Amino acid sequence: MQRVFQPSRLSGLPTDIASLARNVVRGDLTALPPLILAARGMPAATAELLLPVHYYVLDPVHMRTMSVNDWESDAAAIHSRLSAVITTFEPLQLAAMEARIPKSAMSDIFNRVWLWVQFLQDYREQITPAALGQPYVVCMTFFAELFYAFCTSEEYSREAHMFAVSNPRIHFILSSTLDELLDQEAADQRCGKFASHASYGVHAAAWSLFYYGHQLLLKDTPHFQHLLVGTGGTWDHLALFLRRYLEQSLATLQSQDAPTVFQLERVYAALLFMPGVVEPGRSPRPELRAALIRHGAITLFTKLLAPARTHPAANPPRPAPPKALRAGFLCVLLEFARAPGYYRSTAKEHIQFSLNSGIAQHCVYLSVLRALRVALEELVPFDPQRVFEEAGFSSDWIQFLGFMQDRLRIVDEYDAGRLMMWRVCDNTECGLVGPKAQFKQCTGCSEVWYCSRACQKANWRWGHRQECSIIAQDRDNDHAILSPGDRSFQRAMLNYDYAIEQVKITTKFLPVTASTGAQRCAVMFDYLCGGAPRIETSSITQKQRSEHSRLNALWTRADASPGRAQLSMMHFVQGKEVQRRVVLLRFSNAALANAVKQIPFYHDAVSEHNIYAPEVTQLVELLIKSGYAGIWTH
């Protein structure tokens, strides 16, 4: 017996709990429920001292003491023992999730669990759920969740795989349990419950079967035969089973705006099992593919993976990008790209949408780009360039990869502090631009910065007294859609994109550079459609100014700093909405603004625009290279 299972370890428990534990080990099963209840309040390190109790309760020797051939005469004792066995599943699951059980000990105790689970399955007809205190499917759910913990733990995953290889019958028990859990989940969903205990059981059973067990289901192995029998015994039974699973997974995803990781895992688990999708050299079983098509499971599956078919702002792709990327969304696209004909043609629109704009439009968020970096690294061993090229998506992938590498460079520059190294004194009479360390921010709004106490006092008198609360409220509104890291990153991203296109932006802005009064123009960075931002000039009217107090405050500051402040606006997707954010682009002096005003032009009275000579771009570029722009920052 391993040391962790020795009864002497019970002495490390609190006195009252140790007393209950010793009673159980002596054979008093009535002490087990109060023992488990009392142990829930103990620290995890102390709770593992209960392993001798679980080991004793699960001892298969107790099976020989039960008169299964004369069930009725010994029914009370049998049900009492089975109830005690099932009671151990939940605390063992928690211990496994935290890797509190030594590796070799986990294999020993799970083998004991497995013997009892088979006993429960073999004698299901004789077992009375009321005597157990819960339905049979609930008991098996506890086992599915325990096996899920066994599989998903890095500590035990190898042992779990070896166990599954040696015990094909587990696929029958998990699939039949999953079949019953889907019935229970469907009833819960009809009542509006989308996060029920049944749904967690569905996730545990499906992830263990289709994700961790999918390699055992690639061919007509005993494991696959057990799965087939567990779902009903025919290809049609299996296809209908998968359809129900996909329908209920879709309903779960649609029940909230931000799906959880376990909901995403339900989708990816199904992808790994769908024939002909994952393994490049694997031919789909024609019988199962025909049954899946016949029952509409394939159409439902593509709908589940990529529901976005229209403009991203009206119907953004589910699930939330960082979670989707962490759960393997790029792997999903890759698997569809290398799937045989029917699957790939069905998913073609979604692959192209995701590569061309579906993912890119969310790259205004630091969390998305950090998740994307990891996802791209995980894709390297599968040679995505070759896969997408062979599937006809070569140009889409090259364009996607080029843009993502550019955005990831922004993350590197941001992390190194090179994109946000400057600050601007917000005293309109000063406007000093310098290293961040030279400035202190307003404690009221945390948005404006000053190079000295004198500048802070002067700006307070100038008007910050009135605008401070307005700016603070705008910051709080920003926090509702952006984390502080995202807000800072977006300013850094604007600095990066402005630096690349400074000549183009300055040239495009020339005709309206002197606009004041009834309207003012802003440089608009449009990130809605993915790829590099579309940069235009955008007119802002006095009516819009009066409707948005934050915009009014920035407009006032721009007017008070002629040539040294310019409004910048960015459009981006957030959830189902298109968000607009306005910030100031600040210059250390007005040299560039004054210089470009001297460039000759012809004023067109009809269009009321200034018309410049074709060589104006070269003139602007010369001014910028000559240092007229000075130091600037958003």
Residue 495's identity, in one-letter code, is N
Do 114 and 88 contact (CB within 8 A), yes or no? no
**Rounded Cα–Cα distance for residues 160 and 96 (Å):** 12
pLDDT category of residue 342 using cuts at 50, 70 and 90: very low
Identify the band that residue 7 occupies on the pLDDT scale cut at 50, 70 and 90.
Answer: confident
19 or 214, which is more confident?
A: 19
First to last CA, the chain: 67
Q: Which residues on neighbouring strands pair with residue 587, listed in sequence order?
A: 632
- Look at residue 278 and tell me whether its pLDDT is greater than 70: no
Q: What is the pLDDT of residue 305?
A: 57
Q: Report pLDDT for 170.
A: 93
| Integer CA distances (angstroms), 418 to 435, 449, 455, 495, in order | 11, 19, 26, 10
More confident residue, 552 or 323: 552
In this prediction, residue 95 carries a pLDDT of 82
Per-range mean pLDDT, top range of 46-50, 119-123, 126-130, 574-578: 119-123
Looking at residue 229, what is its pLDDT?
Answer: 92
In this prediction, residue 169 carries a pLDDT of: 93
pLDDT at 89: 86
Share of the chain above pLDDT 70, in %: 85
What integer pLDDT is reported at residue 274 of this predicted model?
Answer: 66
User: Which one-letter DSSP state was computed for residue 12?
Assistant: G
- pLDDT at res. 172: 93
Tell me what percent of the residues of the chain surpass a pLDDT of 90: 11
Whether the predicted pLDDT of 345 surpasses 60 = no
Residues facing residue 522 across a β-bridge: 538
Which positions ≥6 away from 348 have C-beta within 8 Å? none
Place of tokens 């449009």: 526
Local confidence band at 551 (pLDDT 50, 70, 90 cut-offs)? confident
- Residue 46's nearest CA partner among 17, 86, 66, 74 is 17
Query: For residues 103 and 277, which has the higher predicted lDDT (pLDDT)?
Result: 103
pLDDT at 518: 56
Lowest mean pLDDT among 177-186, 461-470, 536-545: 536-545
pLDDT single digits (tens) 66-84: 887 888 888 888 888 888 8
Contacts of 573 (CB under 8 A, 6+ apart): 312, 313, 316, 361, 362, 364, 527, 528, 579
pLDDT tops 60 at residue 14: yes
b/e map 516-534, b = 16+ CB within 10 Å: eeeebbbbbbebbbbbebe
Asked whether the predicted pLDDT for residue 130 surpasses 80, the reply is yes
> Would you call the peptide bond into 135 cis, given omega within 30 degrees of 0 as the criterion?
no
Poorest-pLDDT segment among 127-131, 169-173, 477-481, 621-625 = 477-481
Residue 179 confidence (pLDDT): 92
What pLDDT, on a 0 to 100 scale, did the predictor assign at position 191? 87
Q: How far is 363 from 552, CA to CA, in rounded Å? A: 29
The token duo for 370 is 């950090």
Predicted TM-score (pTM) of the model is 0.55
| Pairwise pLDDT comparison (617 vs 44), residue with the higher score | 617
Nearest by Cα to 143 from 163, 162, 125, 158: 163
Which of helix, strand or coil describes residue 590? coil
Contact (CB, 8 A) for 587 and 563? yes
> Which of 52-66, 442-456, 460-474 has the lowest average pLDDT?
460-474
pLDDT exceeds 70 at position 124: yes
| Digit-coded pLDDT (tens) for 393-441 | 899 999 999 999 999 999 999 998 888 888 888 887 887 888 888 888 8
Strands 565-574 and 609-612: unpaired
Biggest CA-to-CA distance, the chain: 107
Contact 190, 132 (CB under 8 A): no
Average the pLDDT over each of 214-228, 303-317, 561-575 and give the range with the smallest value.
Answer: 303-317
Nearest Cα to 247, choosing from 296, 196, 192?
Answer: 296
pLDDT at residue 18, as a whole number: 87
Domain residue limits, the chain: 1-167, 168-274, 306-416, 453-633
Per-residue pLDDT, 174: 92
Six token digits for residue 568:
């910048």
For every residue of 162-190, DSSP letters joined together read HHHHH-THHHHHHHHHHHHHHHHHHHHHH
Q: Is the pLDDT of residue 318 over 60?
A: no
Q: How far is CA 613 from the centre of its chain?
A: 51
Specify the pLDDT at position 412: 93
Q: What is the pLDDT of residues 157-202, one digit of tens each?
A: 888 888 988 999 999 999 999 999 999 999 988 888 877 888 888 9
Token pair of 93 as six digits: 């699951």
Query: H helices then E strands: how many in the chain?
Result: 31, 11
**Does residue 572 or residue 154 have the better pLDDT?**
572
Long-range contacts of 272-281 (CB under 8 A, 24+ apart): 272/210, 272/211, 272/214, 273/209, 273/210, 273/214, 273/217, 273/242, 274/242, 274/298, 274/301, 274/343, 276/339, 276/340, 276/343, 277/335, 277/336, 277/339, 277/343, 278/214, 278/335, 279/218, 280/338
Contact 379, 331 (CB under 8 A): yes
Give yes or no for residue 33 having a pLDDT over 90: no
Q: Are 524 and 536 in contact (CB under 8 A)?
A: yes
Closest-CA residue to 84 (of 39, 25, 5): 25
Take residue 312 and report the two structure tokens written for it. Answer: 């991203």
